[in-house]
Structure 1
Amino acid sequence: MALNLFRKKVAEAAADIEAASLRSDQFRLEREGDWQRLETIVEALEKGRLGRIADDDLLELPVLYRKAASSLSVARETSLDAATLAYLESLVRRAWFQVYGPRSSLFAWARRFLGGGWSASVREIWLDICIALFAMISGTVVGYLLVASDRGWYYSLVSGGMAGGRQPGASREELAETLASTENADGLGMFAAYLFSNNSAVCIMAFALGFCFGIPTLLLLVYNMALLGAMLWLFADAGLTWEFAAWLSVHGTTELGAILLSGAAGMHIGRSMAFPGRRSVLSAAAASGRRAAQVMAGCVLMLVVAGLLEGYARQLLPGAGPRAIVGGLFLAGWVFYFLLMPRPRDHGTEDAP
């Protein structure tokens, strides 16, 4: 009795396996023509042989991809054989890359980005740049006037780690020593590292806070530049305005430019959300977000350049004159690039919010 039951179960299992195999074969035979056609098109695209693909095949590519994706979904749900499932997964993955993947290599993207894409995105947010620049200038003036009226404000605006020996009451010689270009300027190196770390964090926060309608971004720019205004008052009070400006310009024209663009990018998103016009808030934020993200990608590059200038160029340049020349050249270079670099032919633009 038990043996007969066992034989019956084995027979049923074999029948199920045979039925599943028949279903898998039938499933594949019904759709294999479309799969092979899609695979042929994908292989030609992967090898860069676009000219060998018929127009009808190119037009059918999205349809064939969706059919293959649907077949993959069915194969997973019905637990078809592993070979069919693996084949479909590979085919759908390759086809997705050709239908939705990037159309250019990383090198081509970088060439297009630096060859005018970045500058075009910067020009498109010119109004936000003007607003951010006004906030930064206002913050510098406010910081300068606050410390000029009460030296106690200096300690509120400038942290102890950044101040070091640069504080009210220090002699002119002591302050000039902090700007000196010497191999053993440990304090200057620490100050430069603090500045770079601080300004990098400011760039990230200025951009991120733009989603709160741009108001926190403006406040952050004002506060950060008030710190610079306090430092400017300190050196101006000691008669070292030119020396401090030249020392700061070596990296400052690049680093402060990155802060300006980061704040403007954040403001651009916040302004588009506050005033979306005829578009929905989400669509306005998406359009401005793509533009702002391109600007921020360039700001990362500017911060890297500023870090190299802080770590090397400023230490190797003695005297205010050479430092001012380098800072002025970088400022002129950035202005020239952002204002005069032609727009790429394929640079898409959205209506400004």
Structure 2
Amino acid sequence: MSTAPQDRTDLIRSSRFRAEREASWRQLEALVTRAEKAGVAALGYEAARDLASLYRQAMNALSLARAISMDQALERYLEALCARAYLVVYAPQESIRGVLGRFLTQRVPQTVRRAWPPLLLGFLAMALGVLVGYVLFQQDQSWFFSFVPSGLSDGRAPGASVSYLRDTLFDGGGRDGDTMGVFAAFLFSHNTQIAIFTFALGIFAALPSFVLTFYNGLVLGAFYALFASAGLGYEAFGWLSVHGVTEISAISIACAGGAQLGLAVLQPGHETRRAALRRVGPDAVTLMILAGLMLIVAAGIEGFLRQIVQTTQWRLAIGWGVGGLWLLWVLCGGRAPSGGRG
């Protein structure tokens, strides 16, 4: 049999093939390693030019190695090297920080502006719940117990003294730093659960999201009416505003995200429901991410600042000031420069 002479011929041919080109492969490998660690921009013009040229040479060598049946170890090496070089040359060169920055400065505000119809409905559902809860409490205070869970009221209920209700609005002195941290974590967990339920239930024809948002408004309206009936409406408004502007907006935004999914199921238009869900899904998830970010901020404010800041005026300034920053972000972020086209 003549397999041994043929094997020796193939080995000699592979060795010669590798010896003629190995220097350029090593150079390419070094450039790829540098680019993977520091980015293509760190290579400089000449190194970047060499990278592109050496990558083309390596691809030609890989094609030739496959055509003349070189040994498998050489082919695997070239395939791995060319794959790494391809990602360096053609893949988007953007860091995680860049992706996150673009998401926050462009994607989020643009999505909020596109989603203004369901956002408007979400805020209206919350506002309507507040109004109904307030009016029903004024007519019959027993409605308070129907709307507000006992664990949430913490003794703040019809029949409580004015002095006790006032003390609950200005109780920062009774909490140390560790206690406020635990409290903030609890609030974030509780509010996040509400937002997730509001978002997730939206896929069921959108109505459950609005109902849950409306119910949260009922709780808020009855709670505020309790303090207003005791002559503490202004103080309670400041107490709620410091975190509520952000928190209520977050729940309404989560409602809008869920509603987008539900409306895609109810009215897919000329698309299939699956295609409609795929189309609105990214925007809906973006709204939910925004709601989660806002809830983190709200929990920090509610767990720390509301306990530390003991004047109503400062609470109002902080709450509505932060709300103004959110609004400024979503209205102005991600817009093309005024002098640009398109």
TM-score, scaled relative to structure 1: 0.72
Q: Deviations over 1:249-274 (max 9, x none)?
A: 11111111111111111212222332
| Equivalent residue in structure 2 for 1:155, among 109, 129, 145 | 145
Residue 301 (structure 2) pairs with residue 305 (structure 1)? no
Aligned pairs for 1:56-67 (under 5 A) are: none
The answer to whether the aligner puts 1:144 opposite 2:137 as a matched pair is: no
> 1:176–1:240: 8 Å Cα contact kept in structure 2?
yes
CA distance in 2, matches of 1:190, 1:42: 48
**Where do 5+ consecutive residues of structure 2 fail to align?**
338-342
Question: How far did residue 231 of structure 1 move?
Answer: 0.8
- Equivalences for residues 58-97 of structure 1 within 5 A: 84-85=75-76, 88=79, 91-92=82-83, 95=86
Amino acid at match of 1:172: V
- Tell me what 1:222 maps to: 214
Given that 2:128 and 2:214 are in contact with CA atoms closer than 8 Å, whether structure 1 keeps it comes out as yes
The number of residues matched between the two structures is: 327
| Runs (4+) off by over 4 Å | 38-46, 49-53, 80-87, 96-100, 185-195
Work out the CA distance in 1 between the residues paired with 2:42 and 2:314: 54
Question: Could you say which residue in structure 2 is the equivalent of 1:276?
Answer: 268
The one-letter code sitting in structure 1 at the alignment partner of 2:228 is A
Separation of aligned partners in 2, 1:158 and 1:196: 19
Equivalent-residue separation in structure 2 for 1:21 and 1:232 (angstroms): 86
What is the match of residue 161 of structure 2? 171
For residue 103 of structure 1, report the CA deviation from its aligned partner.
Answer: 4.4
Partner of 2:288: 296
Quick one: distance in 2 between partners of 1:189 and 1:229?
Answer: 27
Q: CA shift at 1:88, angstroms?
A: 3.5
Letter of the 2:299 counterpart: G
Partner of 2:340: none
Q: Give the match for residue 3 of structure 1.
A: none
CA distance in 2, matches of 1:272, 1:97: 39
Q: Judging changes above 3 Å, is the alpha-carbon distance between structure 1 residues 343 and 284 closer, same or farther for their aligned structure 2 residues?
A: farther
Give the CA deviation at 1:239.
Answer: 1.4
Task: Say which of 248, 251, 257 aligns to 2:249.
Answer: 257
- Other structure's SS at 1:246 match: helix
Shift of 1:159: 1.8
CA spacing shift, 1:98–1:170, aligned 2, 3 Å? farther
Shift in Å at residue 245 of structure 1? Answer: 0.9
The 1:263–1:278 alpha-carbon spacing in structure 2 relative to 1, beyond 3 Å, is same
- Residue 183 of structure 1: SS of its match in structure 2? helix
Amino acid at match of 1:167: A
- Residues 217-275 of structure 1 show CA distances to partners (whole Å, capped at 9, x for unaligned) of 11111122211122112111211111111011111111111111111112122223322
Three-state SS of the structure 1 residue aligned to 2:172 is coil
Match of 1:47 in 2: 40
1:117 Cα deviation from its structure 2 partner: 3.0
Are 2:32 and 2:84, in contact at CA under 8 Å, matched by a contact in 1?
Answer: no
Q: SS where residue 131 of structure 2 aligns?
A: helix
Distance 1:144 1:195, change over 3 A: farther
Identity value in percent: 35
Asked whether the equivalents of residues 168 and 234 of structure 1 are also in contact (C-alpha less than 8 Å), the reply is yes
Q: Deviations over 1:316-349 (max 9, x none)?
A: 212211111111211222222222335257xxxx
Give, in whole Å, the separation in 2 of the partners of 1:334 and 1:182. 26
What's the C-alpha RMSD, in Å, of the aligned pairs? 4.8
Partners of 1:180 and 1:290 lie apart in 2 by: 42
TM-score (normalised: structure 2):
0.74
